[in-house]
Each structure stands twice: as structure tokens, then as C-alpha cells.
């Protein structure tokens, strides 16, 4: 239960970070925190009490295995998160080249 609450806490920290921070890099970090909270949630959802690695071992016939599917998803999500983070950092770098600042209150050309 504590772990679930911790995931939600991480998620809220990430949302706060994205919504309230004015710096592009901090916004990216907020998104990464949100992604990691979801990865953690996946692992927690897949956990079974007293479970072992999901590799079938003939010597331990009635062992409890943790859910491998959830762990696989967590891996896939890490890769997707990497792609998002890279492209966002690339765009943030280009924005820095144009304006010389990461502060979103100083670069706003768009409205609405």
C-alpha cells in the first residue's frame, strides 16, 4: 500500500513540476519523474508477495513468480520515455540557441 501511495506522490510531484516551473529543463525533469512513477507502478502491480524472478527453475517446483509481463512493459516504457526526453531536450537546446534563455516567460511568442 505504501508503495502505491509513493507512486501517486511521485506522479503529483511530476505534475506540479510540469505545471508550476518556468524553466524548460525543469519541465522536462518533471515529465521524467511522471514517467518513472508509472514505471514504478508497473513493477509494483506485477509484484507477488514472496515472488522470485520469473525464470522457471525445476528444483523449486511451487515457487511464486512475479509477473514478467508488467516488467516487460516497464522496459518498453523506459525506452519510450528515453525517446521523448531526447527529442524534448533537442528542442529545448534549439530554443536556447534562439533566445539565450530557458525561461518560458521570456520566450513566449505564441499565445492561447
Partner 1 sequence: MINILPVFILLPLGAGFVMLLSHRIGRRLPAFICNAAVFFMMVMSFSLFFFRPVGSVMIFRTGCFPVIIGINLVLDGLSHLLLFTVNLVAFLIALYSVSYMARYTKKEKYYSLFMLMVAGMNGVILTGDLISLFIFMELAAISGSALVAFGTESEELEAAFKYLVMGSVASIFILFAMILLYSLTGTTNMADIAQSLPAGAYHAKMLISLLFLVGFGTKAAIIPFHAWLPDAHPAAPAPISAMLSGVLIKALGIYAIIRIFYNVLGMTNQLSNVFMVFGVLSLLIGVIMALGQWDFKRLLAYHSISQIGYILLGLGVATPLGVLGALFHLFNHAIFKPLLFLTAGSVEYATGTRQLKELGGLRQKMPVTANTSLIASLAISGIPPFNGFWSKLFIIIACIQAGRLWFALAAVIGSILTLSSFMKIQKYVFFGKLPARLRNTKESPWFMGTSMLTLALLCLVIGLLFPIFVSLIISPAVMSVAAGTGYAQLVLGGF
* Whole-number Å distance between alpha carbons of 22 and 45: 34
Cα–Cα dist 78/55, whole Å = 22
Give the one residue of 75, 98, 103, 106 binding partner 1; rule: CB under 8 A. 98
Judged by CB under 8 A, which stretch of 48-56, 58-66, 67-75 contacts partner 1? 67-75
Residues that bind partner 1 (CB under 8 A): 11, 14-15, 18, 24, 27, 31, 34-35, 38, 41-42, 45, 69-70, 73, 76-77, 80, 83-84, 87-88, 91-92, 94-95, 98-99, 107-110, 112
Amino acid at each position: 500500500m505504501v508503495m502505491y501511495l509513493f507512486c501517486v506522490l511521485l506522479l503529483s510531484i511530476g505534475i506540479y513540476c510540469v505545471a508550476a516551473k518556468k524553466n524548460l529543463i525543469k519541465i522536462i525533469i518533471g515529465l521524467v519523474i511522471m514517467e518513472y512513477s508509472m514505471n514504478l507502478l508497473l513493477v509494483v502491480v506485477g509484484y507477488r508477495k514472496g515472488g522470485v524472478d520469473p525464470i522457471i527453475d525445476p528444483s523449486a517446483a511451487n515457487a511464486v513468480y512475479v509477473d514478467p509481463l508488467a516488467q516487460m512493459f516497464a522496459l518498453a516504457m523506459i525506452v519510450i520515455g528515453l525517446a521523448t526526453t531526447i527529442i524534448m531536450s533537442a528542442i529545448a537546446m534549439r530554443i536556447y540557441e534562439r533566445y539565450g534563455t530557458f525561461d518560458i516567460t521570456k520566450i513566449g511568442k505564441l499565445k492561447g
